[in-house]
Structure 1
Amino acid sequence: MLEEHQITWVILAGGQSSRMGGHDKGLLVYQGRPLIQRVIDALQPQVSSLWICANRNQAAYRQYAPVIEDLYSDYPGPLAGLHSALKHAETEWVGILPCDGPQVSHDLVERFCQASESGGKVYVAHDGEKYQPVYALAHRSVLSPLEQFLAQGERKVMRFFDQVGARAVDCHDIQSMFMNVNTPEQLLNPQDQQLA
């Protein structure tokens, strides 16, 4: 079974935040704290290595953790963040999660580590109904197929994970973790959040 020190966890904060009027989502205040701070506060006690992948406002993000950025231009999405993490990490495993999901479970990392006993190369959270592909754990051996996938202009996260035989991580009992903040209204009205 994997142990947490064998994984570099990366919070994905590299999107364009088009539904937020272009404001950098991770730096927006939610219930009194920036979204990125809420994710870090929940994740940090669980991990040894924690980074942020951001394509702008890197100086602001560096106040929270080391920052990397996409190596592909034009905001190609979460897979570009995973790619950059796999390229930069010294660990063989990289975990990803989004900056706009402020309700990170206290045992998220433990769940992924336990799932690793099945011997796969990619693990993806499953909420009991569907996969939540921006909550994932990947081995560096998928870097080459990921680069091929992106070179073909592909962007669909779950399509790539299916190609490399992703395995589910049971998160059916913590569905609330997958609620994310997508609109300015949700910053003010958390009860209006929708499942990712």
Structure 2
Amino acid sequence: MSAGYEDTTAIILAGGRATRLGGIDKGWYQLDGIPLVRHTLDRLNGQCQKTVISANRSHADYAALGYPVVADQRSDYAGPLAGIASALATVETEFALVVPVDTPWLPRDLCCCLHGAMTPDHDLVVATSPHGRQPLHCLLRVALHGDLAAALAAGERRVMRWQDKFSAACVHWSSDYPFNNINSTQDTSRPHAVDPPAKDV
């Protein structure tokens, strides 16, 4: 296992409201009879040294999976940036790999590919696909936590706008398939595709 893997914690964002799925806890929505959170954990298997789950409900159920669970530190719903900030406050590694809980086909080499584009001059590396930037599939330096906390306190809620403040690299995937997310029951049909390789951009 490389130094990048050993110094990286995966953050699974499972604190969303899932309004298009009737407000259920999306991590426990089942695809092929398996909860989305288990699909995500399977895809992340072996990619990072540690894993943290950011969740605002079902804490006992998530904790039963064997990973630390962190709730948003804010009482209001501030979106994924709040989940990232709360989880980063608990991370002891140098890097964090951020992924949402609702992309059950995320790349099995996501961490490796993003680390391959990280340099001392970069603060974060973001995945892209033909659809565009995938801001919630990113590798970032945990040292950014202080800036993120300040940005949230100042009212920032947009992930991409916050990311645009920093020196970033991108790694491109030739297909949107690995980043297809589950927002409605219509999204559960598994596309017939194989995991495409990534290339630096």
Q: Report if TM-score (shorter chain) is over 0.5.
A: yes
Kindly indicate whether the alpha-carbon contact (under 8 Å) linking 1:94 and 1:138 is maintained by their aligned counterparts in 2: yes
Tell me the percent identity: 35
**Hey, what does 1:109 align to over in structure 2?**
111
**Hey, what does 1:18 align to over in structure 2?**
19
Q: CA deviation at 1:118?
A: 5.9
Residue 71 (structure 2) aligned to one of 64, 69, 72:
69
**Hey, what does 1:47 align to over in structure 2?**
48
**Hey, what does 2:194 align to over in structure 1?**
none
Supply the distance in 1 between the matched residues of 2:132 and 2:120 (Cα, whole angstroms).
20
Provide the TM-score with structure 1 as the length reference: 0.89
Supply the distance in 2 between the matched residues of 1:166 and 1:158 (Cα, whole angstroms).
11
**Hey, what does 1:194 align to over in structure 2?**
none
AA aligned to 1:62 is A
**Hey, what does 1:136 align to over in structure 2?**
138
SS in structure 2 opposite 1:163?
Answer: coil
**Hey, what does 1:163 align to over in structure 2?**
165
- Write the deviation string for residues 162-183 of structure 1: whole angstroms up to 9, x where unpaired: 012322122x234211100001
Unaligned runs of at least 5 residues, structure 2: 192-201
Supply the distance in 2 between the matched residues of 1:129 and 1:180 (Cα, whole angstroms).
12
**CA RMSD after TM alignment:** 1.7
SS in structure 2 opposite 1:168?
Answer: strand
- Write the deviation string for residues 83-132 of structure 1: whole angstroms up to 9, x where unpaired: 11221001121111000000021211110110113631111111145210
Supply the distance in 2 between the matched residues of 1:80 and 1:183 (Cα, whole angstroms).
23
SS in structure 2 opposite 1:167?
Answer: strand
Provide the TM-score with structure 2 as the length reference: 0.87
Supply the distance in 1 between the matched residues of 2:148 and 2:48 (Cα, whole angstroms).
25
**Hey, what does 2:177 align to over in structure 1?**
176
Supply the distance in 2 between the matched residues of 1:120 and 1:83 (Cα, whole angstroms).
19
Supply the distance in 2 between the matched residues of 1:185 and 1:128 (Cα, whole angstroms).
21
Residue 122 (structure 1) aligned to one of 114, 121, 124:
124
Q: How many residues align?
A: 189
SS in structure 2 opposite 1:114?
Answer: helix
SS in structure 2 opposite 1:97?
Answer: strand
- Write the deviation string for residues 67-96 of structure 1: whole angstroms up to 9, x where unpaired: 111112222111111111221001121111
Supply the distance in 2 between the matched residues of 1:117 and 1:164 (Cα, whole angstroms).
13
Matched ranges for 1:24-103 at <5 A: 24-64=25-65, 65-103=67-105
Considering fraction of residues, name the structure with more helix.
Answer: 1
